[in-house]
Amino acid sequence: MTRSTTLVAAAALGLMTSFSVSAADLSAVPSGDYAVDKTHAYINFSYNHLGLSNPTLSFDQFDVNMVLDADEPTNTTVEVSIDGNSVVTGSEVFHDHLTGAKWFDTAAHPTMMFKSTGVTANDDGTYAMTGDLTIKDMTKPVTLTVTINAATMHPMAKKPVVGIDATGQILRSDWGLGANAPFVSDEVTLSITAEMLAAS
C-alpha cells in the first residue's frame, strides 16, 4: 500500500527524540491483538553523510503486530515485518543503489524482521524493548526505547487504539552493511511511530 512519502524528521525507527513522560494509562483499552493502521504509521532511519547532511529515509510497506498486556505492559510483544524494496529515497537511482547487492540486496533478502524478546519499564515512564532484528538473514539483538503516547477509543474507527513511538540506534556494519564508513556513518538511528488498532 503506497502512502504519503512525507517524513516526520526525528519522528519516533530513527529509529528520534526521547520523551520524559509518565507511564501511559492503558485502562481504556483491552489486552489482546493489535495491528498497525498503515495510514498512520512510519518507519524511518537516518544517518550522517560526509558530515554534511543527516538524510532521513523510510519504508513504505510493512506490518506491525502487537499482543498487548494492558495490565502488565512488560508482557507485551511486538513483531515488525518490512518490505526492503519499499525503501523511500526520493530518487530512483538511489533506490536502486540501496536495494542492490551492495546494500539491502532485496532480490535475495526481500524482508527485514524485528521480533521483541523482552520489555522492561524505565524510570521516566518509557519502556526498553529488546528484540532480534534480522537484515539480509543476519539476526542481531537491538534495544528500542518505546513511548506509549495514548491509549483510547479511536473516534473514527470505533476501535481501541494505542499510539506508540519507538527509537533506537544500531551499527549497520553488524548486518554486513558497513560499506563507505566512516564517510557514511556506521551509526544509524531507527524510528517507528504508529497507531495500533485492536484487531477485533
User: Domain for residue 27, yes or no?
Assistant: no
Helices marked H in 64-149 — which ranges?
A: 92-99
Number of folded domains in the chain? 1
Between residues 109 and 9, the one the model is more confident about? 109
User: Domain for residue 2, yes or no?
Assistant: no
User: Domain for residue 115, yes or no?
Assistant: yes
Residue 158, Cβ neighbours under 10 Å: how many? Answer: 8
The pLDDT value given to residue 13 = 36
The pLDDT value given to residue 19 = 33
Instruction: Report whether 16 contacts 193 (CB < 8 A).
Output: no
| 23 — pLDDT class (breaks 50, 70, 90) | low
Between residues 1 and 33, the one the model is more confident about? 33
Q: Is the pLDDT of residue 6 over 80?
A: no
| CATH code, 149 | 2.40.128.110
User: Domain for residue 12, yes or no?
Assistant: no
**For the residues 180-187, what does the mean pLDDT come to?**
97
Residue 160, domain extent: 32-198
One-character DSSP codes across 136-151? TTEEEEEEEEEEEEEE
> How does pLDDT run across 107-156, given as a tens digit for each residue?
999 999 999 999 999 999 999 999 999 999 999 999 999 999 999 999 99
**For the residues 69-79, what does the mean pLDDT come to?**
96
* Average predicted confidence (pLDDT) for the chain: 89
**For the residues 147-172, what does the mean pLDDT come to?**
96
